[in-house]
């Protein structure tokens, strides 16, 4: 139980502190219910994964690592769903799938190695699996500001509001297009 709480809380804190540092230049907040749910996923699935990994069955450490990886992915994407912004997040499903697959693989390897070499430094391996979701999914994530935000930011002049809204739309398209081009090999 202590291992589940400490590991899950550490995984959650890594993600949430990084999200608090993210400043999208538009108003943002966090849904408290989804944020707590992401913490519950991190603690619960990490605890389940560690429990499985400690069992005496063959390949238990690999299976336990996969469950820990699912816990990391569930925490990450639930935490991202908790991120409220005046716009919307668009995700490329291929990058989401790749981030989950990479996280599963790294978690399975980390837990398997930790099971065979219990006195080795685990934090580096576990850190790699924790960071795989946000970094592998980043190229497929695009934040599109809403037109409502653009019109609220302008003054009372409707022509000015239309120009601001159009500027936001063009900036969002340009930003997403640049991200897509930079992601190409």
| DSSP alpha helix (H) spans, the chain | 2-21, 32-53, 60-82, 93-116, 122-137, 147-153, 158-183
Map out the domains of the chain as residue ranges. Answer: 2-138, 146-185
Whole-number percent of the chain with pLDDT over 90: 17
Tens-place pLDDT, residues 22-51: 777 777 888 999 999 999 999 999 999 989
CB 69 within 8 A of CB 6: no
Calculate the average pLDDT of the chain.
76
Given this model, what pLDDT does residue 183 score? 64
Per the CB < 8 A criterion, the answer to whether 61 and 53 are in contact is yes
Burial class (CB in 10 A: 0-12, 13-18, 19+), 137: buried
Q: What percent of the chain has pLDDT over 70?
A: 64
Query: pLDDT digit string (tens) for 83-125?
Result: 888 777 777 788 888 888 888 888 888 888 876 665 555 544 4
Q: Report the relative pairing of strands 87-91 and 83-85 from DSSP bridges.
A: unpaired
Selected residue with higher pLDDT from 113 and 70: 70
Tell me, what's the pLDDT at 158? 46
Q: Tell which residue, 70, 63, 6, 71, has the closest CA to residue 41.
A: 71
pLDDT at site 169: 59
Whether residue 151 has pLDDT greater than 50: no
Q: Is the pLDDT of residue 55 over 70?
A: yes
Structure tokens at 56: 């005496």
Task: Give the closest residue to 175 by CA, choosing from 167, 103, 79.
Answer: 167
């Amino acid at each position: 139980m202590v291992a589940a709480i400490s590991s899950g809380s550490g995984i959650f804190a890594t993600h949430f502190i990084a999200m608090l540092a993210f400043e999208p230049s538009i108003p943002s907040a966090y849904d408290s219910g989804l944020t707590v749910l992401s913490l519950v996923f991190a603690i619960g699935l990490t605890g389940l994964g560690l429990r499985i990994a400690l069992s005496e069955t063959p390949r238990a450490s690999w299976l336990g690592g996969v469950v820990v990886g699912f816990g990391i992915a569930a925490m990450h994407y639930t935490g991202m769903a908790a991120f409220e912004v005046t716009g919307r997040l668009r995700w490329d499903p291929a990058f989401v799938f790749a981030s989950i697959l990479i996280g599963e693989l790294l978690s399975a390897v980390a837990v398997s190695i930790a099971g065979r070499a219990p006195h080795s430094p685990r934090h580096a391996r576990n850190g790699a699996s924790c960071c795989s979701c946000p970094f592998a999914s980043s190229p497929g994530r695009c934040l599109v500001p809403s037109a409502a935000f653009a019109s609220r930011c302008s003054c009372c002049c409707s022509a000015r509001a239309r120009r601001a809204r159009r500027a936001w739309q063009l900036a969002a398209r340009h930003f997403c297009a640049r991200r897509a081009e930079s992601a190409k090999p």
